[in-house]
Amino acid sequence: MRAPVRYEVVIPTAGRPTLETLLAALGAADGPLPDRVLLVDDRSPGSPPPALRLRGPLAGRTSVLRSGGRGPAAARNVGWRAARAPWVAFLDDDVIPSAGWRAALAADLCGLAPDVVGSQGAIRVPLPRDRRPTDWERNVAGLEHARWATADLAYRRDALAAVGGFDERFPRAYREDSDLGLRLADRSLRIVAGERCVLHPVGTVDRWVSLRKQAGNADDALMAALRGRGWRDRAGAPPGRLARHAATTAAGVAAAVAAAAGARRLAVAAAGLWLAGTGELAWARVAPGPRTREEVTTMALTSVALPPAATAHRLAGTWRAHRLVRAGGGPAPERPLAVLLDRDGTLIEDVPYNKDPSRVLARPGVGAALARLRGTGVRLAIVSNQSGIGRGRLTREQADAVMDRAVELLGPFDDVRICPHRPEDGCACRKPAPGLLLDAASALGVPALRCAVIGDIGADVRAAQAAGMRAVLVPTAVTRPQEIAAAPEVAPTFAAAVDRLLWEVV
């Protein structure tokens, strides 16, 4: 019989009235209750706490935290760092969980593979049945197809700790979701679709909401700077219209400049291009909608201002992104609870098929760096491929004698294990397979997500990624250039690798 799933619910809120509807639906849903509901008030400091009338099973399980108005990424970080359950389920404060949401969440999370660190719920946006949806209604309905939308997404807490949670350099919603999803995917971790469902009603907005939403173009610039130009394909994000917006804006600017300079023909030509671009945008927004007078007027007015607004936000965002990237920072992984160490070429000098303990020499700086790790309470293990045993180049007794000498020089270690197999044996323990690492983590009693690996070749890195662990490569003369290029983290020395693991602390 499986143990019941333990989870906590984190709800960032700006004090919207929909919060009480959410809490009432969550409390009335079927299924196991959360350990706690953590409401994170993201209004500015000094705002009064949310006025909540909690009744029913959530009344004694709900706490209010403050994040100081720093945006949804910071609010979610405040929430999951306060959580203690293995799973953290994020809900936006404007969704309504279905009647069976709690039971469906428990079913979604039960029995997931270790490399599955997230479960995304389905989002349903109710649209009017008696007419075609407006531009804003279609915009909200896009959430139904959004990848990694945190409006309803449960994460393993250990996975959030392993990558540092949400990047607070994103001040608005949406792109911080994609950024986190990509960082988890870079560690070969998966987010899967669940069966549960929330309703996301379309809220009432004013005429100019589409212009305010163009601020998100600045976040797209930061995504490109952090994750590369192909981030949209990897994150499943739609391509957007920025190139068209920029062309329309450029035509409008050219028309104005040419008119001021008295270049009438050029001004007329540029104005024609601007009018064509603006008209195409307006029609693209009007055509699928209800085409009421109010909607057509709103689309006409905002389509004039939308291209320059989008372009200006993107330019400002590009400047800000380069400044932020130069300054460094970003999400900092929590300190690993265990570090798994390759032996030959990492801890000691690499002597192929060494059977002589007297030839064991510690690599420079390793002893002091290991002492620093032990001093912080990090558990240590050696995980070493020793195919010489399987090849008949040395006996198990000789391999053990060499290992004993390495431990004598650099120990103590909490766990030591080797794989004696040849590559062609197809075992599950030889790196780059993850078996040796997962066995060591299990022996240490540490979740794989909270382990880090230090090694000198690509097999060490690939084994860590297959196990869902952080990997730091310390190249030596035998490390191939393509292994260095493919490694997620590279340090010039073993001591520098330890610096990375101990310095990047939340």
Q: What integer pLDDT is reported at residue 294 of this predicted model?
A: 96
Q: Are 458 and 432 in contact (CB under 8 A)?
A: yes
**Where do runs of H (alpha helix) occur along 39-134?**
72-82, 101-109
What one-character-per-residue DSSP string does 207-272 give?
TTHHHHGGGHHHHHHHHHHHH-TTHHHHHT----SHHHHHHHHHHHHHHHHHHHTT-HHHHHHHHH
Measured distance CA(81)–CA(148) in Å, rounded: 20
Residue 504 has pLDDT above 70, yes or no: no
Helix axes 458-466, 435-444, angle to 10 degrees: 60
Active-site annotation holds for 342:
yes
Q: What integer pLDDT is reported at residue 2 of this predicted model?
A: 64
Measured distance CA(304)–CA(277) in Å, rounded: 9
For 406-457, what is each residue's pLDDT tens digit? Answer: 999 998 999 999 999 999 998 999 999 999 999 999 999 999 999 999 999 9
Q: Which amino acid is at 50?
A: P
Reduced to 3 states (helix: H, G, I; strand: E, B; else coil), residue 159 is helix
Confidence of residue 34 (pLDDT cuts 50, 70, 90): very high
Q: 198: which strand partners?
A: 97, 123
Residue 183 has pLDDT above 60, yes or no: yes
Reduced to 3 states (helix: H, G, I; strand: E, B; else coil), residue 301 is helix
Measured distance CA(195)–CA(441) in Å, rounded: 31
Lowest mean pLDDT among 53-57, 220-224, 315-319, 457-461: 53-57
The distance of Cα 445 from the centroid of its chain, to the nearest Å, equals 25
Mean of per-residue pLDDT scores for the chain: 93
Is omega for the bond preceding 432 within 30 degrees of 0, making it cis?
A: yes
The pTM is what? Answer: 0.87
Q: Which of 130, 216, 234 is nearest to 179 (CA)?
A: 234
Alpha-carbon distances, residue 29 vs 18, 32, 91, 448 (angstroms): 17, 9, 14, 33
Residue 324 has pLDDT above 70, yes or no: yes
The distance of Cα 411 from the centroid of its chain, to the nearest Å, equals 35
Alpha-carbon distances, residue 94 vs 55, 57, 82, 137 (angstroms): 19, 21, 22, 15
Mean pLDDT of all residues in 369-390: 96
Residue 106, C-beta contacts closer than 8 angstroms, at least 6 positions apart: 4, 5, 7, 31, 32
For residue 266, count CB atoms less than 10 angstroms from its CB and return exposed for 0-12, middle for 13-18, buried for 19 or more: middle
Which one is the CATH code of 338-503: 3.20.20.70, 3.40.50.1000, 3.40.50.10190, 1.10.357.20? 3.40.50.1000
Mean pLDDT of all residues in 264-289: 96
Q: What integer pLDDT is reported at residue 1 of this predicted model?
A: 53
Q: 119: which strand partners?
A: 154, 192
Which one is the CATH code of 7-205: 3.40.50.2300, 3.90.550.10, 3.40.50.620, 3.20.20.70? 3.90.550.10
Q: What integer pLDDT is reported at residue 488 of this predicted model?
A: 87
Describe the chain by its helix, strand, coil percentages, rounded to 5: 45, 15, 40
Mean pLDDT of all residues in 144-156: 96
Q: Which of 41, 177, 219, 342 is catalytic?
A: 342
Place of tokens 């995980």: 383
Q: Which amino acid is at 313?
A: H
E strand or H helix that includes residue 416: strand 415-419
Reduced to 3 states (helix: H, G, I; strand: E, B; else coil), residue 378 is coil
Q: Which of 158, 344, 456, 460 is catalytic?
A: 344
Q: Which of 168, 453, 503, 461 is nearest to 334 (CA)?
A: 503
Measured distance CA(240)–CA(494) in Å, rounded: 44
Measured distance CA(238)–CA(232) in Å, rounded: 7
For 61-117, what is each residue's pLDDT tens digit? Answer: 999 999 999 999 999 999 999 999 999 999 999 999 999 999 999 999 998 988 899
Confidence of residue 505 (pLDDT cuts 50, 70, 90): very low
Measured distance CA(440)–CA(41) in Å, rounded: 41
Q: What integer pLDDT is reported at residue 46 of this predicted model?
A: 78
Helix axes 494-503, 366-375, angle to 10 degrees: 20
Measured distance CA(149)–CA(172) in Å, rounded: 13
Reduced to 3 states (helix: H, G, I; strand: E, B; else coil), residue 23 is helix
Active-site annotation holds for 108:
no
* Structure tokens given for 73: 């990424």
Instruction: Give the whole-number percent of the chain exceeding pLDDT 70.
Output: 99
Measured distance CA(235)–CA(231) in Å, rounded: 6
Measured distance CA(128)–CA(407) in Å, rounded: 70
Per-domain boundaries in the chain? 7-205, 206-329, 338-503
Q: 199: which strand partners?
A: 96, 124
* Structure tokens given for 130: 């008696």
Mean pLDDT of all residues in 465-476: 92
Place of tokens 């265990």: 338
DSSP 8-state assignment for residue 56: G
Measured distance CA(341)–CA(325) in Å, rounded: 31
Instruction: Give the whole-number percent of the chain exceeding pLDDT 90.
Output: 87
